[in-house]
Amino acid sequence: MVTETTTPDVSAVRTVTTAGVVKDTRGYAIFRVVNAVVLTLIAAITLYPFVNLVAKSFSSEGYIAAGKVNLVPRGFNLTTFNAVVSDPMFWTNYKNTVVYTVVGTVIAMALTTTYAYALSRTNLKGRGFFTGIALFTMFFGGGLIPNYILVANVLHMRNTMWAIVLPGAISVFNLLVMKSFFENFPAELEEAAALDGMTTYGVFLKIVLPLSKAVLATMTLFYAVSMWNSWFGAFLYLDKKDLFPVTVYLRNLIAATTGSQEITGSQDNAVQIGANVQSVTMLLTVLPIVCLYPFVQKYFVSGVMLGSVKG
């Protein structure tokens, strides 16, 4: 039986000159120019709000009120930055955010990877039941009041770090992505390791995880960003200011922009802080994640695609 093999036709995008030089066709060259222009415009539109946010953070109140601040700061001013960073409570809450993010991400990754790996094993007894439990929590929840009673009164985690890092430790979406990735993992490697005497835990820790860096980096980024930006759980379960994450500190600062003599020190400073406090606080909150992203960006696309559901 003879099967025909087809080769891709590149004549639509490439031509060979008499000198043997490969050149783009006119249509493909136009496509590349249009594609570059469109992507540049999309990038500019995406970056504009962030650049405008940075410009407002360093601008004076008069220019902001007049709507004259676009991409470049006008009336360079650091009053709001000085008022925020000179407050010792800001640094205490910032440290809390780092601790909550690190601890919460480690716990979430430990639970998600082990749960996903177990669900990916076809020989697991009750596999459908445990998968159903995860899916059920994705669509149904107890509601705000039952959750508060459970965390604060039953588990007695109020005013502790665990009220922040434990209730949302497993994201079902991340769990399903990682489960799908593990299901497509080469079974021959695990079988070979088992023949060499490795236990299930050894296979998981020494074979599976080291070969899953892309999806692990992606899930770590998802969890870290979620933990870093989270504020409602802390707002709900924490009463002590020295336990607040920085997001709650900044939320309270925005809520009291104009009346806070304790932070501003004068009415003029209060007006300036009220004008750009939102821009400054958003910049201070997003900056660490922006700095972290380039280090995991190379894993991001490949991690999501490798763990995607294949139809």
pLDDT 10s digit of each residue in the chain, 311 long?
A: 444 545 555 555 555 555 555 677 778 888 889 999 999 999 999 888 888 888 888 888 777 777 788 888 888 888 778 877 888 888 898 899 999 999 999 999 999 999 999 888 888 888 889 888 888 888 887 788 888 898 888 988 988 999 999 988 888 888 988 888 888 877 778 788 888 788 888 888 888 888 888 888 888 888 988 888 888 888 889 888 889 998 888 888 777 764 544 444 555 566 666 667 777 877 888 888 777 777 766 666 555 555 444 44
What residues have CB less than 8 Å from 221, skipping those under 6 apart?
Answer: 292, 293, 296, 300
Tokens coding 300: 């991001």
Which of 278, 240, 241 lies closest to 257 in space, CA to CA?
278
**Three-class SS state of 23:** strand
Which of 288, 284, 289, 258 lies closest to 271 in space, CA to CA?
258
What residues have CB less than 8 Å from 16, skipping those under 6 apart?
Answer: 22, 23
Q: What is the DSSP letter of 240?
A: -
Compute the Cα dihedral for 40, 46, 49, 53 and give only its sign: negative
Could you identify the residue written with the tokens 């201070």? 284
Specify the pLDDT at position 78: 81
Could you identify the residue written with the tokens 């809520």? 255
* Angle, helices 246-255/267-306, rounded to nearest 10 degrees: 140
Distances (CA, A) of 194 to 199, 204, 205: 7, 11, 13
Specify the pLDDT at position 6: 52
CA–CA separation, 91 and 97 (whole Å): 10
Specify the pLDDT at position 103: 94
**Three-class SS state of 241:** helix
Specify the pLDDT at position 112: 93
pTM: 0.75
Specify the pLDDT at position 35: 92
DSSP one-letter string for 249-285? HHHHHHHTTTT-HHHH-SHHHHHHHHHHHHHHHHHHH
